[in-house]
Structure 1
Amino acid sequence: MGPSVEDLEKPVRLPAFHTSELGPWCAIISYEACVRLCLKNWSIGSPEAVSFLKNECSLLRSAFCLEQYLLQPEEELLSKKCSELVVTGVPKKPQKTFGKLKVQVRKVKMVLDPPNGCTFSSIKKPPLMKLQKINRRLSSTKSTIHSEWEAIRRVRVTPNFSTNGSLSHQSLAYLHFGTQYLKDISGLLKVGITSLHNSPTPPEAPEETYVCSLRLKSSSDGDVTRMQPGSSETHVFLPDGMRDDLLIEVTDSKGKYCGHVKAQIADITDDVGDKLRWWPIYHEPEHELVGRIQLHMQYSTTTDENNNVKCGIVAETIAYDSVLEAAMKIQNFQQRKLLLHGSWKWLVTEFASYYGVSDAYTKLRYLSYVMDVATPTADCLNVVYDLLSPVIKKGKMNGTLSVQENRMLVSLSDEIEETIALVFENYKSLDEHSSSGLTESHKPSSGFISPALKPALKLYTLLHDIKSPESQLQLCKYFQTAVRKILARHLAETNEFVSTTTEKSTVDQIAYSSAYQKMKSLCLNFRNEIASDIKINNQHVLPSFVDLPNLSSALYSTELCNRMRAFLVACPPISLSPPVTDLIITTCDFQRDLDSWNISFVKGGVDAKEMFHVYITRRIHDKHLELLESCKLDKGVVAQNSTSVFVDDMYEKLKETLAEFQVIVSRWPQYTLLLEKVIADAERVIMETLEKQYSEILSALKENTIPVKAVQYVQRIAKGNSLPYTFPEELGSLFNLIKKMLDVLQPEIERQFKSRHVCVSVSESENAAPGELLSEVTVMLKTKFRNYQQSAIEKLAGNVLNETFASEMQSLVGYMLTDKDVEPPTSIKEVQSMLCKDS
């Protein structure tokens, strides 16, 4: 399968060819070196060299773009002019140059300046160096003044005059003495002050001197310029491009490393002209700020001056880079064509071997171009591994990598780390046939391992100590990042339901069902993602410490739980409708699957029963009230001799209630106890409703149920108003309904509960054991039915007694009673024995 149409329409990614920015001089030197190499190999019979020497090395001249710089025969010039008259093309843009950079090191300060502003700390703690200098100066001045004063005190001038002289002669002598004294004193003072002024300052502690080693990042390690701070020495650097850096290493007078400075050319060229700037000095590897360096830099972009300066020595590595870039341009090097082949591969390899370019440098330089167009695909990562593996092994075994090669290795390792991180963080979205290496459309994961995953793991093992906890943790974090990306994509489909501010009453049934359907799809998507992770893990490609199913399910389960809670708050279930029950079933299945896959439960993960418990109990309570209200609303129906319809309808609602909660009790039988209470209460209310509707008939049964004495029978007969009891038709209907409830309707309800009672332990119910409430209702119905039936039988038996007693008494009228006549007749004894048996 080749690239798609969309990939073909996308622009091809090419590497950054930096040697072309060096101008034609580098290209000419590289061209000349290739010609000599080909001539040498041609002389020994190499067939590959012939193709480069044909037609006066036209292939090489074209590859290095030297047609306009080298002399050409007159015939070629005339033919080109004629062709230019016919075909006009776009003029070629002039070669872009990056100018030159003049650098002068002014000052180096390894002690940071105190904070600006007047603070008590700066007043109380002046710099120690300044205090020592002032103390030494004051001590020197004090000693000088003291010595000069002692010299003045020792001056003695004695006046020379005769004692016999006149007063005027003595006065003149004293005047001469005073003048001489003043001259001597002033001379001494002048000598003292002069000596004090000219006296050198007492020796101070010598200040540390520093040496700065400057070079460009693109230059070789040997191309280093040493400069003394404050020496007014200026050096000109030729940047390799905007990505180049000016690197400065600061050492003390003893050669001890103090720190380094990194100045980016892009930062320097922001403002063209003179720059006097302080740059920070950092000490590695702690990256600690240890001082500052003041640099005066002048950047210019004069083309002529730049070209004249660059016409000098070209290093072998730069020439190799130029040859490598020419080969890549000719063979259309890009993100899906990463390998050279044929004669150009031979030329690049022979060039490095002939001119002494190290194997490590060639691989690292080639790798730098690969990383410019790197994609998270297997072919790219395999090329990277083949290039990087020998270099790292060589560095570990021999430690012979140069400073430049080590610097390149560190820089490329960071880029490779970013690429393999891209693989791990998109391990389900990799596409070998895409130009970017990543799929544009997100399809359901099938558990297929992308070919890029294996070389990515090899590279990660090459760059890291896979046995260290830090490396293992970092690799797990990459996969966690990938899972979070998948989570965000799936959760975006339900964001509207948890962020909406619409009133619940305004949500129509279609939107309500759609919301629950999307939440169900979210559960299924998370379940499929975990299942695919299990398939990936079972292929044993990942290291053993990467438990991908547990790692991903912890995030999926936690996020699903959080989203489900937020959704139920925003869209609470109105009833146990099909969309709601489907979501409950799917959530339960998600939890059950995690358990069957031996995935550890995570705190805060999906617990279906705990999430839906509040809504289930609320629905059971609402259904309880609804059933009780239905019994009261049906009173008018019962009054119209439709009691059978009423009972059938009510038990049909009870069956519908059980069917509604069938999904709940099938997964959590504990809720059977709550439902049992609802059904039992409803049956009691049904019986109470029947008793109220037949209250007049039932009250007649309760009359005259007390045993009647013989005197009372005589009184009734004497009065002549004793009427026989008539069994009403409504009482028969009531008995039939109660019998139907006992024999047909209630057993159906009990059978549905018995299938769940085995799953419910007695300890889960605080007030009743499973089935106890329904048993109480059954006992209540049987008791009422028996009592009403016995009352009716007693009423009918009373009719027989009345009739028998009346006939017997009539036969005894006008006779004297004997003891035998007082005994009850045989018929009455039979009725009495029959009633005793019924009781």
Structure 2
Amino acid sequence: MEAPMFLENECALLRDTFGLQQILLQSEEERMEKPTLDFTSEAAAPKPTKIVGKMKVQVHKVKTTVDPPTGCSMTSLSLSAPRAKLKTIQNQLSNFQSILSSRWQALNNIRVAPHLPNSSFSHKSLAYMHAGTRYVKQAYGLLKVGVRSSHKNSSSYEVIQETYVCMLRLKSSAEENNIRIQPGSGETHIFFPDSLADDLIVEVQDSKGKHLGHVLVQVATIVEDATDKLQWWSIYREPEHEPVGKLQLCINYLTSSDDNSHHKCGSVAETVAYDLVLEVAMKVQQFQQRNLQLYGSWKWLLTEFASYYGVSDVYTKLRYLSYVMDVATPTADCLGLVHELLMPVAMKGHNKRALSHQENRILGETKDQIKQILSLVFENYKSLDESSFSGIMDVFEPATGLVAPALEPAIKLYMLLHDVLSPEAQTNLCHYFQAAARKRSRRHLAETDEFVTTNNEPNFMETVAMSIAYQKMTCLCRNIKNEILTDIEIHNQHILPTLTKSVSIYIYSTELCNRLRAFLLACPPPGPSPPMVELVIETADFHRDLASWNISHVKGGVDAKELFHLYIMIWIQDKQQSLLESCKLETVKWSGVRTQHSTTPFIDEMYERLKETLSDYEVIICRWPEYIFVLENAISDVEKAIVEALNKQYVDVVSPLKEILTPKKFGLKYMQKLTKQSVCSYTVPDELGMLLNSMKRLLDVLRPKIETQFKSWGSCIPEGGNTAPGEHLSEVTVMLRTKFRGYLQAVVEKLAKNTKLQNSTKLKKILQDSQETMGESDIRGRMQMLKELLRSTINHLHTVFETQVFIAICRWYWDRMAQDVLGFLENRKENRSWYKVSQIAVSILDDTFTSQMQQLVGNALPAKDLEPPRSILEVRSMLGKDAYY
């Protein structure tokens, strides 16, 4: 079914593709009727016969000329002579090349025409060939000298930052067959010239598509040397034929008619013929980098040709594989085809005697190319892109977690060529992935190179710049983690051998650790700011995730606690020192200012800063609970400093209370001091109210929040810990509560002394002077002065203290007055005549305190605070319940 395509129109397709319009299917008589070839006349050269070959082309660089300075006439003069000489040489070479090409093609016609006598191929013809070859070499040598001379005297060349695009095609092909190649991309394209008279035309465009000029490469000029030619070609702008730059091309040309070009397989006639048919088939079906498969009738023709002429299946696969490897890309379709072609060959290739000399040579060279493409795949296995023409991403992108389709066939191909159980093969494979990890790690690290100084001196940037720097470092940690996650995903799909699992992770972890350490030295963090905390979180999560992924600790790798430990300790110390400085007397700027709670704003400000400190360190504490104790010590020291600052701030109002608080030593000096003191009433100052109110707010409102926070952190401590947090805070609580109770007791004692300054208000004196025979109204009359004093004192206390302190002092004052009654009865237990007076006095005390507190506090007064204090209950117990009521 495939044959008719080749038989139509008297094999027109074959005649056209093989260049045999004048030879194929012509009788000997028809061919003999052609005029005799005369090599003495240039015009007698017959129409050239096609010589099928392939030309591999790579575009390396583009250079453009620099315009000479304005007004520099000497430069303009110096350019004219070399350019004229250069054009003359080019014209001469072009004319002679046409003659030489015609002569050469005529000779080839003689060689391929079996009916011509051997005498026609005369010595004169050979002389023409040798002379032509020498002339080409001499002329091109002269051309190079002229080019160098013209370039030396003209303006210099420079590599431009402009991006250029080259459009390549053969003169014999249509313009729509242009091949687009970007200089320096490494892309290779194979062209199949019609003959030596064909030309390669390269059009150079800038990034905007503007035509810069073109290069004309004559096939005949490069056909002599089969090795790669890396050569500069002049770019001309037409129609003035003005040189505007240079283009560096790497060209390799091989022809089927040249025995030297088939050094891969020798000079076996059948294989040479097969190569010719294969190259024609590839040209017809536009064989190129992303179009590697032969199909349809041409594939059938190749199979039939190989079968008829006895070309081995191994040779056909190896020859086809050699062409595939010339344009191979790191893509799944290409690597899959290579594996398919190599599989049956590799099975025989283990025994070299099973292959011919040709096949062994092709296999050896092909393996080298396969190793190169595998190296390209493995070292870029996260940058592979099937949609890209080259198979590799044009722009670097972070890992996405997706596995490149080309990776699996690449591993299969590597296992086909190597024994993966051998240490050498395993080591080489690990080296590929180590190189890939270093390459990608280097690309990620480049984003933060600007923040790492080489002199190890701290770089104190402004706040905004510092924030950006830490955000980039956080992004770096996230990107590196994504790289590892992608590796784990690949291994979970059992695509890569297990031995490669840890090689990339080791590199990522160690290089990230080194960059973090260098960054922290170059840009030391001043404290746990939000960007810094984000970096700590990301680094700690990175370290934790490695463990959760069953990855053993990497020596020299990321250890978040080890990286940040010193900085965390310094932050806590600096914060503690800053808060202690704020507690010094000279920094207490709130003297005389009162809040709505009748407290000093100093404590609210300080505890707000303590609360912010705890909030800043919450992320760190949750990840490393051992810092709880360091932070608790710092906070407790600051709290002690706050209490001490309050004492110093209100030292004037506290000093009168010290004689109550200090244990008394009844010596001569103390008695003299008492006698010298003037008798005066004590009035509670407003400043003392602010002090006690502040201490009460510390105990009931501010400090419990701190303690609650530390208790909640205690749940983060692993079981089996030696101590629980809060011990140092409890010490502060005991100290503060003791001071507060001491001040309350001292105030109550001062108020109790006020009642003893006059006989009319001294409770014991009133009870002692009262008679059992006196009526209740008389006793109440004697208690009236004391009652008024108590009421006025309670009213004043309400203006000085906030509600809770006011109630506490009133109840303590109530208890203290009951103690006087209790002391009076202690010495008169057997004399029940004093019970009536005591009952009336106690009832007056109860009524005075309860009524005044209710009146001043109102409904906010809890019922439990109206219950009698302990001393009142003792008095009632002594008087007897029945007698009292």
Q: TM-score, normalised by structure 1?
A: 0.60
Deviations 1:323-346 (A, max 9, x none): 222222222221222232333323
Call closer, same or farther: CA 1:786–1:832 in 2, change over 3 Å.
farther
Q: Give the aligned partner of residue 417 of structure 2.
A: 463
Higher mean Cα deviation, 695-704 or 756-765?
756-765
Matched, 1:512 2:466: yes
Offset, 1:504: 6.2
Q: Give the aligned partner of residue 392 of structure 1.
A: 346
Matched, 1:627 2:582: no
Q: Which of these residues, 768, 787, 805, is aligned with residue 742 of structure 2?
A: 787
The CA distance in 1 between the partners of 2:529 and 2:269, in whole Å, is 80
SS in 2 for 1:722: coil
Deviations 1:341-365 (A, max 9, x none): 3333233223322223232222212
Instruction: Report if the CA contact (8 A) 1:801-1:828 is conserved.
Output: no
Q: What pairs up with 1:46-57 in 2 under 5 angstroms?
A: 51-52=5-6, 55=9, 57=11
Whichever residue aligns with residue 698 of structure 2, its letter is M
Q: What pairs up with 1:184-223 in 2 under 5 angstroms?
A: none
Offset, 1:596: 1.9
Matched, 1:745 2:702: yes
SS in 2 for 1:399: helix
The CA distance in 2 between the partners of 1:450 and 1:659, in whole Å, is 44
The CA distance in 2 between the partners of 1:669 and 1:786, in whole Å, is 35
Q: Give the aligned partner of residue 373 of structure 1.
A: 327
Q: Give the aligned partner of residue 609 of structure 2.
A: 653
Call closer, same or farther: CA 1:394–1:810 in 2, change over 3 Å.
closer
Q: Give the aligned partner of residue 405 of structure 1.
A: 359
Whichever residue aligns with residue 613 of structure 1, its letter is H
Matched, 1:356 2:310: yes
The CA distance in 2 between the partners of 1:774 and 1:408, in whole Å, is 83
The CA distance in 2 between the partners of 1:368 and 1:387, in whole Å, is 10
Q: Give the aligned partner of residue 495 of structure 2.
A: 541
The CA distance in 2 between the partners of 1:832 and 1:710, in whole Å, is 30
Instruction: Report if the CA contact (8 A) 1:677-1:773 is conserved.
Output: yes
Q: Give the aligned partner of residue 259 of structure 1.
A: none
Q: Which of these residues, 733, 748, 752, is aligned with residue 797 of structure 1?
A: 752
SS in 1 for 2:354: coil
Offset, 1:764: 8.1
Whichever residue aligns with residue 748 of structure 2, its letter is I
Higher mean Cα deviation, 611-620 or 50-59?
50-59
Whichever residue aligns with residue 382 of structure 2, its letter is K
Q: Give the aligned partner of residue 688 of structure 1.
A: 644
Deviations 1:33-71 (A, max 9, x none): xxxxxxxxxxxxxx6555545555543343333558899
Q: What pairs up with 1:123-272 in 2 under 5 angstroms?
A: 242-243=225-226
Offset, 1:91: 7.7
SS in 2 for 1:723: coil
Instruction: Report if the CA contact (8 A) 1:424-1:479 is conserved.
Output: yes
Instruction: Report if the CA contact (8 A) 1:797-1:831 is conserved.
Output: no
Instruction: Report if the CA contact (8 A) 2:331-2:386 is conserved.
Output: yes
Call closer, same or farther: CA 1:441–1:697 in 2, change over 3 Å.
same
The CA distance in 2 between the partners of 1:535 and 1:529, in whole Å, is 10
Offset, 1:725: 3.4
Deviations 1:430-482 (A, max 9, x none): 22232211122334433333332222222111111122222223223222222
Q: Which of these residues, 599, 620, 625, is aligned with residue 664 of structure 1?
A: 620
Q: Which of these residues, 672, 683, 687, is aligned with residue 730 of structure 1?
A: 687
Offset, 1:774: 0.9
**Greater relative contact order (CA < 8 Å, ≥ 6 in sequence):** 1
Whichever residue aligns with residue 683 of structure 2, its letter is T
Q: Give the aligned partner of residue 638 of structure 1.
A: 591
The CA distance in 1 between the partners of 2:609 and 2:511, in whole Å, is 39
Call closer, same or farther: CA 1:739–1:366 in 2, change over 3 Å.
same
Matched, 1:338 2:292: yes
The CA distance in 2 between the partners of 1:708 and 1:533, in whole Å, is 81
The CA distance in 1 between the partners of 2:628 and 2:693, in whole Å, is 30
Offset, 1:483: 2.0
Instruction: Report if the CA contact (8 A) 2:513-2:556 is conserved.
Output: yes
Identify unmatched segments of 5+ residues in structure 1: 1-46, 85-89, 101-238, 245-264, 268-305, 813-825
Offset, 1:715: 9.9
Offset, 1:777: 0.9
Call closer, same or farther: CA 1:790–1:388 in 2, change over 3 Å.
same
Whichever residue aligns with residue 830 of structure 1, its letter is G
Q: Give the aligned partner of residue 37 of structure 1.
A: none
Deviations 1:587-609 (A, max 9, x none): 11222222222222211111111
Call closer, same or farther: CA 1:598–1:710 in 2, change over 3 Å.
closer
Q: Give the aligned partner of residue 253 of structure 1.
A: none
Q: Give the aligned partner of residue 195 of structure 1.
A: none
Q: What pairs up with 1:44-83 in 2 under 5 angstroms?
A: 51-52=5-6, 55=9, 57-66=11-20
Offset, 1:628: 0.9
The CA distance in 2 between the partners of 1:357 and 1:328, in whole Å, is 18
SS in 1 for 2:353: coil
Call closer, same or farther: CA 1:366–1:724 in 2, change over 3 Å.
closer
The CA distance in 2 between the partners of 1:832 and 1:654, in whole Å, is 52
Q: What pairs up with 1:549-564 in 2 under 5 angstroms?
A: 550-564=502-516
Offset, 1:620: 0.8
Offset, 1:537: 2.0
The CA distance in 2 between the partners of 1:379 and 1:532, in whole Å, is 22
Call closer, same or farther: CA 1:316–1:639 in 2, change over 3 Å.
same
Offset, 1:790: 2.5
Q: Which of these residues, 714, 717, 742, is aligned with residue 757 of structure 1?
A: 714
The CA distance in 2 between the partners of 1:784 and 1:718, in whole Å, is 29
Instruction: Report if the CA contact (8 A) 1:716-1:722 is conserved.
Output: no
SS in 1 for 2:19: coil
Whichever residue aligns with residue 702 of structure 1, its letter is K
Deviations 1:256-307 (A, max 9, x none): xxxxxxxxx999xxxxxxxxxxxxxxxxxxxxxxxxxxxxxxxxxxxxxx99
Instruction: Report if the CA contact (8 A) 2:330-2:390 is conserved.
Output: yes
Deviations 1:774-805 (A, max 9, x none): 11111111222222222333333334445349
Q: Give the aligned partner of residue 288 of structure 1.
A: none
The CA distance in 2 between the partners of 1:364 and 1:345, in whole Å, is 15
Instruction: Report if the CA contact (8 A) 1:672-1:753 is conserved.
Output: yes
Call closer, same or farther: CA 1:763–1:381 in 2, change over 3 Å.
closer
Instruction: Report if the CA contact (8 A) 2:536-2:560 is conserved.
Output: yes
Q: Could you say which structure has the larger radius of gyration?
A: 1
Matched, 1:600 2:560: no
The CA distance in 2 between the partners of 1:449 and 1:741, in whole Å, is 60
Matched, 1:347 2:304: no
Matched, 1:575 2:532: no
Instruction: Report if the CA contact (8 A) 2:399-2:479 is conserved.
Output: no
Q: Give the aligned partner of residue 89 of structure 2.
A: none
Q: TM-score, normalised by structure 2?
A: 0.57
How many residue pairs end up in the alignment?
Answer: 571
SS in 1 for 2:350: helix
Instruction: Report if the CA contact (8 A) 1:423-1:430 is conserved.
Output: yes
Matched, 1:830 2:783: no
Higher mean Cα deviation, 446-455 or 62-71?
62-71
